[in-house]
């Protein structure tokens, strides 16, 4: 009988289902977490909500085989340490999505109809009807930043308000956007054109503080910003500086930590809730049911579809997965992070052709920061399908003598024209090597550190101009490559630097040399 520990307030349906399947279940949300770990060190399965599952927690349970997050996000779980300890980690994506989507609508309406302020005022015996004049959602423009499960449901729930919906999602195809009835926009356009903006992106290195002063200053006077995603994606200081001037309304449900005590956004939030996004009886029951079903299927049927930290199969060097991620990331930056790819084409040479499926998750993570590299092929396929991206694995001819290498192509989804970027790479002496970028062959560039790329019509003096601009910015050059295209008409300046280079400096250098393409990427 396998022992399951549920140290959280979760619907009892999970415990009932597990006991019926002959699991021993301990559900206790009142005893301190540390005491439960000590008292139940023989735990094999743990089902959690927002509890932090650190390396110490994992080490305290030597028989642990499975951790299930009853919810979608699993940033509170050390999935890498779990993998090292051969512990699988699952989530239950979608179980809470409707609850969060409905709360977004509730917060929009509360923000513009002064619901919280009016309640407090009226309870105090006041009658401030004129002072509390509100606005309507109907007929307005709503921007949805991030079109995952929750973003799509927000769009669906908004339909009854007859609103115009703009969407920002770097990997949502134009065809799927048409099907969903949303208009794709760049992020700055979303902020400039929307009366309401709802955030639905994860907190990653690329999205941290993405909602900054530059975007906030573009917002319409009186516009509403709703954050039910992650606290770190909004730069609070920038919002504080802009909010009053533009009379913005800020509705917030997320914080750096879900704990009691003062909140840093208290002075700028018009509506603030204690992370209630997933706090509905229905969502709790859905997550509990899914957690139990997945646990039972894991042990009885060997189903691992929702494991988010899978390892690699025998015979595959994990570095090739790192290579797939790096090539996809490079291709994404070359194509343009504001451009939605319509199609991905892959070629795997040598023995790698047996492991094409194992490269899909790293490729998805390379083009979309919200996708975790530890997820599997099924997750990646579902992700691509959900964004309207077609994936085609081409047949390969090993007579070309490419060895153990791979090629990844991204194709832009314009209806009447196609833009393609193609990158090939391999592993050399344990290093991730980029061997070709479009027509620039024999590049032999290590995918590591901070790298600038400038494509331009071949002419003298270009490297010197770029080096001068970098020098003025206090940036040191570590390495330079300048290959020509196969026809000799184009050149590619590839410059490794000691620090990341800002978009402003990249743009300045691109203008100075008349570059056809320019971007920076860090590995």
pLDDT exceeds cutoff 80 at 66: yes
The rounded distance, in Å, linking the Cα atoms of 512 and 465 is 7
If one compares 204 and 184, the residue with the highest pLDDT of the two is: 184
pLDDT exceeds cutoff 80 at 418: no
pLDDT band at 54 (very low <50, low <70, confident <90, very high): very high
Indicate whether 358 and 454 sit together in one domain: yes
User: What number of CA atoms fall less than 13 Å from residue 335's CA on the CB side?
Assistant: 31
How confident is the model over 10-27, as a mean pLDDT? 97
Ranking 176-190, 367-381, 430-444, 445-459 by mean pLDDT, the lowest is 367-381
Look at residues 523, 489, 507, 494 and name the one whose alpha carbon lies nearest to residue 436: 494
Residue 310 forms part of a structural domain = no
pLDDT band at 271 (very low <50, low <70, confident <90, very high): very high
- Quote the number of domains for the chain: 3
pLDDT band at 309 (very low <50, low <70, confident <90, very high): confident
pLDDT band at 522 (very low <50, low <70, confident <90, very high): very high
pLDDT exceeds cutoff 60 at 415: no
CA torsion through residues 140, 146, 149, 150, sign: negative
Indicate whether 240 and 355 sit together in one domain: no
pLDDT band at 413 (very low <50, low <70, confident <90, very high): low
Instruction: Return the CATH number at 156.
Output: 3.40.50.720
Cβ count within 10 A of residue 147: 26
Residue 357 forms part of a structural domain = yes
Residue 49: which domain range?
3-93+281-300
Contact between 193 and 168 under an 8 Å Cβ cutoff? The reply is no
pLDDT exceeds cutoff 60 at 365: yes
pLDDT exceeds cutoff 90 at 318: no
How confident is the model over 201-207, as a mean pLDDT? 86
Provide the phi-psi class of 110: left if phi over 0, else alpha when psi is between -120 and 50, else beta. Answer: alpha
Ranking 8-12, 96-100, 260-264, 415-419 by mean pLDDT, the lowest is 415-419
84-125 pLDDT, tens digit per residue, is: 899 999 999 889 999 999 999 999 999 999 999 999 999 999
pLDDT band at 374 (very low <50, low <70, confident <90, very high): confident
209-266 pLDDT, tens digit per residue, is: 999 999 999 999 999 999 999 999 999 999 999 999 999 999 999 999 888 999 999 9
Q: Residues 6 or more apart from 335 whose CB is under 8 A from it?
A: 341, 410, 412, 419, 421
502-513 pLDDT, tens digit per residue, is: 999 999 999 999
Indicate whether 40 and 165 sit together in one domain: no
The rounded distance, in Å, linking the Cα atoms of 209 and 494 is 29
Q: What is the pLDDT of residue 190?
A: 97
pLDDT band at 417 (very low <50, low <70, confident <90, very high): low
Q: What is the pLDDT of residue 304?
A: 87
Please report, rounded to a whole number, the percentage of residues in the chain having pLDDT higher than 70: 99
Q: What is the pLDDT of residue 50?
A: 85
Residue 313 forms part of a structural domain = no
The SS3 call for residue 116 is helix
**Which residue pairs from 438-443 have beta carbons closer than 8 angstroms and sit at least 24 positions apart in sequence?**
438/334, 438/485, 439/485, 439/486, 439/487, 439/490, 440/483, 440/484, 440/485, 440/490, 440/492, 441/483, 441/486, 442/483, 443/481, 443/483, 443/492, 443/494
Ranking 308-312, 400-404, 482-486 by mean pLDDT, the lowest is 308-312
Indicate whether 416 and 366 sit together in one domain: yes
Q: What is the pLDDT of residue 450?
A: 96
Indicate whether 478 and 345 sit together in one domain: yes
Q: What is the pLDDT of residue 242?
A: 97
pLDDT exceeds cutoff 60 at 414: no
Q: What is the pLDDT of residue 204?
A: 83
Q: What is the pLDDT of residue 22?
A: 96
CA distances from 495 to 401, 447, 499 (A): 29, 12, 11
- Whether the full predicted model's pTM is greater than 0.85, yes or no, is no
The rounded distance, in Å, linking the Cα atoms of 194 and 181 is 16
Indicate whether 425 and 337 sit together in one domain: yes
Q: What is the pLDDT of residue 59?
A: 97
How confident is the model over 54-74, as a mean pLDDT? 95
Query: DSSP characters for 272-321?
Result: E-SS-TT-SHHHHHHHHHHHHHHHHHHHHT---TTBSS----TT--HHHH
Residue 364 forms part of a structural domain = yes
- DSSP class of residue 488 equals S
Q: What is the pLDDT of residue 372?
A: 77
Residue 309 forms part of a structural domain = no
Indicate whether 477 and 347 sit together in one domain: yes
Indicate whether 405 and 287 sit together in one domain: no
Indicate whether 239 and 355 sit together in one domain: no
What does pLDDT average to over the chain? 93
394-408 pLDDT, tens digit per residue, is: 999 888 788 999 999
Ranking 60-64, 162-166, 457-461 by mean pLDDT, the lowest is 457-461
Residue 480 forms part of a structural domain = yes
Indicate whether 226 and 292 sit together in one domain: no
Indicate whether 391 and 511 sit together in one domain: yes
Ranking 186-190, 209-213, 304-308 by mean pLDDT, the lowest is 304-308
Residue 236 forms part of a structural domain = yes
pLDDT exceeds cutoff 90 at 131: yes
Indicate whether 50 and 13 sit together in one domain: yes
Residue 311 forms part of a structural domain = no
């Amino acid at each position: 009988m396998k022992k399951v520990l549920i140290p959280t307030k979760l619907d009892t349906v999970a415990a009932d289902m597990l006991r019926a399947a002959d699991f021993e279940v301990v559900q206790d949300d009142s005893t301190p977490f540390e005491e439960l770990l000590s008292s139940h060190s023989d735990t094999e399965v743990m089902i959690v909500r927002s509890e932090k599952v650190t390396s110490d927690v994992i080490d305290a349970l030597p028989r642990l085989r499975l951790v299930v997050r009853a919810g979608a996000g699993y940033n509170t779980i050390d999935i890498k340490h779990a993998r090292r300890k051969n512990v699988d980690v699952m989530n239950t994506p979608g179980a809470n999505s409707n609850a969060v989507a409905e709360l977004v609508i509730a917060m929009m309406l509360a923000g513009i109809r002064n619901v919280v302020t009016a309640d407090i005022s009226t309870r105090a015996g006041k009658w401030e009807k004129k002072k509390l004049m509100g606005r309507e959602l109907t007929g307005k423009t709503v921007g949805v930043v991030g079109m995952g499960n929750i973003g799509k449901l927000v769009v669906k729930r908004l339909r009854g308000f007859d609103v115009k919906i703009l969407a920002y999602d770097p990997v949502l195809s134009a065809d799927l956007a048409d099907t969903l009835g949303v208009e794709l926009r760049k992020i700055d356009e979303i902020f400039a054109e929307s009366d309401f903006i709802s955030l639905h992106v994860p907190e990653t290195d690329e999205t941290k503080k993405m909602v900054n002063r530059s975007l906030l200053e573009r917002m319409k006077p009186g516009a509403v910003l709703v954050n039910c995603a992650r606290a770190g994606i909004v730069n609070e200081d920038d919002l504080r500086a802009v909010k009053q001037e533009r009379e913005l309304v800020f509705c917030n449900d997320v914080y750096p930590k879900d704990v009691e005590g003062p909140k840093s956004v208290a002075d700028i939030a018009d509506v603030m809730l204690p992370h209630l996004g997933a706090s509905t009886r229905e969502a709790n029951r859905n997550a509990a049911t899914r957690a139990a079903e997945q646990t039972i299927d894991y042990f009885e049927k060997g189903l691992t579809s929702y494991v988010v930290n899978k390892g690699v199969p025998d015979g595959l060097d994990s570095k090739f997965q790192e290579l797939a991620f790096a090539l996809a990331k490079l291709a994404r930056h070359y194509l343009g992070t504001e451009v939605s790819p319509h199609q991905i084409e892959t070629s795997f040479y040598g023995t790698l052709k047996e492991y094409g499926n194992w490269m899909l998750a790293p490729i998805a993570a390379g083009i979309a920061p919200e996708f975790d590299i530890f997820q599997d092929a099924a997750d990646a396929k579902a992700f691509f399908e959900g964004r309207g991206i077609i994936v085609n694995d081409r047949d390969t001819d090993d007579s070309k003598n490419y060895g153990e290498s791979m090629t990844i192509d991204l194709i832009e989804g314009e209806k009447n024209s196609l833009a393609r970027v193609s990158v090939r790479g391999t592993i050399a002496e344990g290093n991730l090597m980029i061997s070709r970028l479009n027509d620039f062959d024999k590049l032999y560039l290590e995918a590591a550190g901070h790298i600038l790329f400038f494509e331009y019509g071949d002419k003298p003096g270009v490297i010197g101009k770029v080096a001068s601009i970098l020098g003025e910015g206090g940036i040191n050059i570590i390495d330079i490559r300048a290959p020509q295209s196969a026809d000799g008409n184009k050149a590619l300046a590839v410059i490794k630097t000691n620090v990341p280079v800002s978009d402003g400096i990249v743009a300045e250098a691109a203008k100075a040399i008349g570059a056809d393409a320019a971007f920076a990427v860090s590995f």
